[in-house]
Structure 1
């Protein structure tokens, strides 16, 4: 039985914004922890922060935008899946702060993973029926199916973690092994460089001149750039060159697309988001070799800066654009200024150490910048409405 999707999309958007609010507040509290430590299990709360924003905000928002664009109705099975996804995220949000990767959190994360695969399978089937009256629908279907394929692919990471946990004598000992780290990075890489990225392309990419060869080359680059994650646990020249090959392929395809339709790119995305996308591919090439790859491996704040670059600098503004944000300076522009300031502060701890400023000053500056960023992040998002017609 099919259900009219306007009301479901609106509720889905409300829940997604609620998860954004919770994840952002937790992240801000974690930044304040460095200014004035207070009694919490930091890594437990960090898990809650990352899972809530990745799965509760970005994954939710991209999926609902896809449903808004493609499907005039939502089946009862899909409605159940959407509801179970929210239960999974809510369960992780509540359980992670108190037990980390304990039995309850693992149960909710497993629920979310299984239901995500089921919903991805339903999307694979339904997307073929996406209005053939639309020009270049074939390429749109291909992009969505690439996102679905990467969803299935990234599922192998948690499955490997489960296998390793069963073989290991203790979960704490397992967390320090290379295979544990690789399984985790495998999941994350194909989630945000695979699922999220190809949903982004499907929702936005002007398909007038896009060739299938370019799409397959971009997908091959996504697979090859997993070598960046391998470099994190094992530095070797072969992984560096594989990462460079994949990154160069993606940068080349992206520049071809931009050159072919620059005006459309600028109008639909804006200069800042277009520049951020270009910088992503440039950073992938630069991060394939020392010293940058070594800094990302050894300096946690550098890795955090890159992840925030993706999620706060690309995916979140993209969701805003698709939801109809008005790109005005005092909201959208000011957000980017504050975001750039947080990125700069995360990358410059040694500058503060070489001065007579105490580390607490650096932490306080980061907290202040993030406080302003969170206010704008929540303010801009909560002003947007995502209905059937994007209103």
Structure 2
């Protein structure tokens, strides 16, 4: 096993634990009090570190590992970019809580963006030069493209906050632009590329693979308007939204059918833990696509975006349910981490935390829509956050001790 890969994996999972710890602090401040903590500033640190320190860091590492078979010194070549992204992530973690959007936090945010640019250029070139092509490569290229264009939203936010010219509509539109092309572009397409490449290494090629890729790719850009239906968008944009939703649903249906045809083979190749993690990620993806479909109804969209708990629940569904569970499942089936009883316990606790967090946010959102105050929801959300952190703490401990394998 590549020692560099193991090291970077441990760093990324440690970062995920820090993200969960900040989540506990945020929930504690809402339920009780932390006078010395600026809630909004800490929230910025939480989200930026989650994106850069956890998801982007681990995806960069996993994408580099795709080149490892052909380029033995791949991690050495990419080390400056991996360390650059890590420095940017920790820079944002330690500056946003104290100054919000300010000189230092924006500087580290800019560093993360330019590191992403450099990674995209370098990785694209290496894919083109690789002797052996992979079905995952088109997904990786699309992921890199969406990561680059997502930065327009980040720059717009930084400029508005630094100059104190943020208009509510422009602020939300820029935020959702960045989030959309991170979640549904960079994160999702990179994960799909990893899945396609892993199947390729197993000698499995899914039926309609190219069709699935183009359905999701063509849908990605117009699907941004799903996050902007609360704005007075023109009719042509709304029609594009409907088409994008149909493309995504068709892509998922074809993907599900293709995987089901190969299920007999996959069942023999994937570990029990990997099956659970990937299966739960697929269920979360299906729920996400169904929620997107419902949001095409303007009245429902305005209603959903009007309640914070619903928005937070949706974003966590994607980041934790779809992306993080997939990444952990991918790591498990590739044996990039120790699969001992302690690790499994940590992952199970983490999954329980995700489920409870989503359930409580759903109940809270439903109550808000009905103008019913649900008692103790803040305390229960704090409990769910503690479970998320506890699960990741156990997982991190499992990678540094000897336990019996499972």
TM range (shorter): 0.7 to 0.9
Q: CA deviation at 1:198?
A: 0.7
Q: Structure 1: which 5+ residue stretches go unaligned?
A: 386-391
- Measured at CA, do residues 9 and 234 of structure 1 come closer, stay the same or move farther in structure 2, by a change above 3 Å? farther
Question: Which of 238, 255, 258 in structure 1 is aligned with 2:256?
Answer: 258
Q: TM-score, normalised by structure 2?
A: 0.82
Question: Which of 361, 370, 380 in structure 1 is aligned with 2:385?
Answer: 370
Q: CA deviation at 1:240?
A: 4.2
2:171 maps to 1:171: no
2:84 maps to 1:84: yes
- Measured at CA, do residues 339 and 120 of structure 1 come closer, stay the same or move farther in structure 2, by a change above 3 Å? same
Partner SS, residue 167 of structure 2: coil
2:139 maps to 1:148: no
Alpha-carbon separation, structure 2, partners of 1:73 and 1:202: 22
Partner SS, residue 229 of structure 2: helix
2:188 maps to 1:197: yes
Matching residue of 1:388: none
What do residues 344-373 of structure 1 show as CA deviations (whole Å, max 9, x unaligned)? 211222666799x97662211111122123
Q: CA deviation at 1:59?
A: 1.2
Question: Which of 165, 174, 187 in structure 2 is aligned with 1:183?
Answer: 174
Question: Which of 289, 307, 316 in structure 2 is aligned with 1:308?
Answer: 316
Matching residue of 1:139: 135
Partner SS, residue 139 of structure 1: coil
Contact 2:60–2:82 under 8 Å retained in 1: no
- Measured at CA, do residues 273 and 351 of structure 1 come closer, stay the same or move farther in structure 2, by a change above 3 Å? closer
Q: CA deviation at 1:381?
A: 5.4
Aligned length: 372
Contact 2:281–2:323 under 8 Å retained in 1: no
Matching residue of 2:359: 344
Q: CA deviation at 1:29?
A: 0.9
What do residues 198-253 of structure 1 show as CA deviations (whole Å, max 9, x unaligned)? 11001113443244233122111111110022224446665544323212201111
What do residues 154-184 of structure 1 show as CA deviations (whole Å, max 9, x unaligned)? 122234446x54xx9x733x22343333223
- Measured at CA, do residues 350 and 254 of structure 1 come closer, stay the same or move farther in structure 2, by a change above 3 Å? closer
Range with greater deviation from structure 2 (22-31 or 206-215): 206-215
Alpha-carbon separation, structure 2, partners of 1:28 and 1:140: 36
Partner SS, residue 348 of structure 1: helix
Matching residue of 2:102: 102
What do residues 46-92 of structure 1 show as CA deviations (whole Å, max 9, x unaligned)? 00111111111111112212222323322655211111111100100
Q: TM-score, normalised by structure 1?
A: 0.85
Matching residue of 1:323: 331
State how 1:1-391 maps to structure 2 within 5 Å: 6-39=2-35, 40-71=37-68, 72-74=72-74, 78-132=78-132, 137-161=133-157, 165=160, 171-172=163-164, 174-205=165-196, 206=199, 207-234=205-232, 239-262=237-260, 264=262, 267=267, 269-270=275-276, 271-324=279-332, 332-333=347-348, 335-349=350-364, 361-380=376-395, 383=398
Q: CA deviation at 1:288?
A: 1.9
Contact 1:352–1:362 under 8 Å retained in 2: no
RMSD: 3.0
Partner SS, residue 242 of structure 1: helix
- Measured at CA, do residues 349 and 211 of structure 1 come closer, stay the same or move farther in structure 2, by a change above 3 Å? closer
Range with greater deviation from structure 2 (321-330 or 142-151): 321-330
